[in-house]
Chains A and B, each alone.
Chain A
């Protein structure tokens, strides 16, 4: 076969171009740490890579959602514990008031009770970020518009004073402006988790039942059976004592309800924490799978670069020698 200068140079150029391109590819892989420089480098891996990336993003979304939900559970739990503690204090206060030695101090107990009611309302108005945790889905200040003239705040629970009646001589009343719809977040594929604790689960029907009891107890302490304010040293009647005992029982039940709600939050928190940890492990595992497909095997790439460099060097040497020699070099 005849070998010509053109065929030699063309082949040499082609070889040098290919080797240069391969070296450039390996250098880019080492420099960027990415195995795939273009989609066609590994077409069979592209679907897996997209899938892993998508899964990681989804898991991170759930993880982030769980982060927020767990923070809200913490706030809710603190509020519920505060409410439960205050209700226990009210129980203690009621039991103390039943003591004969304290029968002449019901006015004082009334004031203590009122401050406890206000404390419970304050805890019930606990907010997480810009939402009120016990207000259902109507949980922002903007959505909690007060109805004038009695209501004045843009909070879900408000103690207002209405016209006194024989049944409610103080006229006190707790208004709930939120709703009892639960809020859910997606924490997994096809899996949602309730993040809110509704007011009816804490305070009974309508979210105000327990306050009715507390105000009834207050009215018993602060007002005589005829509806007039209790005078200093005025002793309770037997019927009033019976009522107080009944109210204490109802408050004890309410405390149990609040504790149950707190327990539910705790259980939910545990479940979410476990799920959060599971997701974190999944993310790590998926990242590892992704890394195997997308990241450069530096050792292999370095060795390949070395081989390409040697081939390039020898191609240059051989090419230079072959192109330099012809019969003309030996003609005198």
Chain B
């Protein structure tokens, strides 16, 4: 009888634990990173009696978490890829905004108005009102280029800030993972398994880390993880290295680039690395190539192309203007007045282009004539206006054609990025579904488990009651 009571007690305990695990699953149905758990039961040991072996009920063998490391690895890899393209798409969209494309108030519009004004002035070179209009349009064009150039530089600057804050967040996550490793080692259960809640937190930290970096994870039998990115070990047991965003200046070219250094906890730098995927990789690419005016990469750089257009336009226009004469110039040597000059920089770029203040102060001084004292001569300004349709302006294109090629290239890259982002999202969604299918909490399933454990608990309680009654009967036999 005592054996039956023990069997009943074990069943009560096992089913109560099963109920607890189910309740915990239901409670965490919406917890990010949580993997469902199940109580593992095993039959109790058999005890010989009367030449027979009698089973001793049920025992709790442990708690299993439903998590597949292969799926987790794919999930992290897909998250990294998706984050990379998401950041790329965001940057490209911000470039479109900086350009004002597609819209009516763009650099192309400003160029058209500039050439319109030049053409109008060529027809009436002596008219002061047309000279003022020409200067106003030249100023508008310079302002449009300045605005766009500054917006792109600001975007580049904010890209660095974003890289810095992302690196800080990465460092927090690396510290968290090292700390979890330490806690796991300190709290292994009787079966040598880590606490499920620590593994959940670890998984969540790795998931977030994979948004920023390409990470590979190697898991020790105890459940601790070593984290590597682009060949650099970032977390090993309870030691976490730190990632730092650096702006490096190339003294000979004046180019600044973004790189990442790896530091030990004592602050010593042990090397640099370039992330291959994730948000950080996209930020580095944007900073070093797409938004870098001095980029030497063969990949598309909006800042470089815009500066190229600006400097060529300024050089070509100035080449005409410096050989021309204004309304009041009597010669014989041309006064050599340039229309465009650099403001706040040594060279003319999209950010520095400005209209010569001498001309702004005196519209009559705008060089329009190829000979002195001939206000009706419009050779210089006509040649300037004709640049609009000069098919050899830059890379065998007109100025507007070149700008069109820049926007077309941006559009192609944007569309390609969007396509890849859509594909990455789809892959991630599929892996998420697969992951959820294995690790997620199904309420119907948990409700069934609840009933199962409840009924088993009720039955075990009945076993105890009946055993108690039987024992009582036996005890009362002697009375």
Q: Residue on B with the closest CB to A128?
A: B124
What distance in Å separates the Cβ of A190 from its nearest Cβ neighbour in chain B? Answer: 8
Provide the A181-204 mask, 1 if CB < 8 A to any CB of B, else 0.
Answer: 101111001101001100000000
A6 touching B29 in the complex, CB below 8 Å, given contacts A61-B116, A179-B374, A185-B122: yes
| A326 interface residue per 8 A CB criterion | yes
Known contacts A39-B101, A131-B126, A138-B375; decide if A6 and B404 are in contact (CB<8 Å): no
Q: Is B445 an interface residue (CB 8 A)?
A: yes
Known contacts A42-B411, A43-B411, then 20 further A-B pairs from the complex at CB < 8 Å, ordered by chain A residue: A2-B445, A4-B442, A10-B432, A34-B102, A38-B102, A39-B102, A46-B408, A50-B108, A50-B400, A50-B408, A51-B404, A53-B400, A58-B389, A64-B120, A136-B376, A183-B377, A190-B389, A294-B102, A327-B444, A328-B447
Q: Per-position contact with A for B12-45: 1 when CB-CB < 8 Å, else 0?
A: 0000000000000000011000000000000000
Selected contact of B437 from candidates A3, A38, A131, CB within 8 Å? A3
The answer to the question of B75 belonging to the interface, with a C-beta cut-off of 8 Å to chain A, is: no
| Cα distance, A328 to B418, chains bound together (Å) | 42
Is residue A255 within 8 Å, beta carbon to beta carbon, of the partner chain?
Answer: no
| B436 within 8 A of partner (CB) | yes
Q: Which residues of A contact B403 (CB under 8 A)?
A: 50
Q: Which of A61, A131, A189 contacts B124 (CB 8 A)?
A: A131
**Interface members, chain B 64-117 (any A CB < 8 Å):** 92-93, 96, 101-102, 108, 112, 115-116
Is B405 positioned at the interface, with any CB of A under 8 Å from its CB? Answer: yes
Distance A189 CA – B451 CA, assembled complex (angstroms): 86
Complex CA distance for A49 and B88, rounded to whole angstroms: 25
CB-CB < 8 A to B115: which residues of A?
A: 57-58, 61
- Selecting from A90-98, A139-147, A225-233, A272-280, the interface stretch reads A139-147
Q: Report yes or no: A186 in contact with B101, Cβ–Cβ below 8 A.
A: no
The smallest beta-carbon distance between A244 and chain B, in angstroms, is: 38
Taking a contact as CB atoms under 8 Å apart, the answer to whether A43 and B447 are in contact is no
Q: Are B437 and A186 in contact (CB under 8 A)?
A: no
Beta-carbon contacts under 8 Å, B367-409 to A: 369, 371, 373-378, 382, 385-386, 388-389, 398, 400-401, 403-405, 407-408
Does A2 contact B438, Cβ atoms closer than 8 Å? yes
B433: chain A residues at CB < 8 Å are 7, 11
Closest Cβ of chain A: how far from B342's Cβ, in Å?
A: 27
Tell me the A280-332 residues at the B interface (CB within 8 Å): 294, 326-328, 331
**A28 within 8 A of partner (CB):** no
Interface size of B as a range: 35 or more
B412 A186 Cβ-Cβ under 8 A: no
Complex: how many Å from CA A24 to CA B30?
29
Which residues on B sit within 8 Å (CB–CB) of A256? Answer: none
Q: Is the interface of B mostly helix, strand, loop or mixed?
A: helix
Decide: B414 and A40 in contact? CB cutoff 8 A. Answer: yes
Question: Cβ of B93 and Cβ of A186 under 8 Å apart?
Answer: no
Do A40 and B376 contact each other (CB < 8 Å), given the known contacts A46-B407, A61-B119? no
Q: Which of A54-88 touch B at CB < 8 Å?
A: 54, 57-58, 60-62, 64-65, 68-69
CB <8 Å contact, A65 and B120? yes
Which residues does A use to contact B, with CB under 8 Å?
A: 1-7, 10-11, 14, 34, 36-43, 46-47, 49-51, 53-54, 57-58, 60-62, 64-65, 68-69, 129-131, 135-140, 142-143, 179, 181, 183-186, 189-190, 192, 195-196, 294, 326-328, 331
Chain A nearest CB from B33 CB (Å) reads 11
- B327 contacts partner chain A, Cβ-Cβ < 8 Å: yes
* B423 interface residue (CB < 8 Å to A): no
Across the interface, which residues of B come within 8 angstroms of A186, CB to CB? 119, 122, 382, 385-386
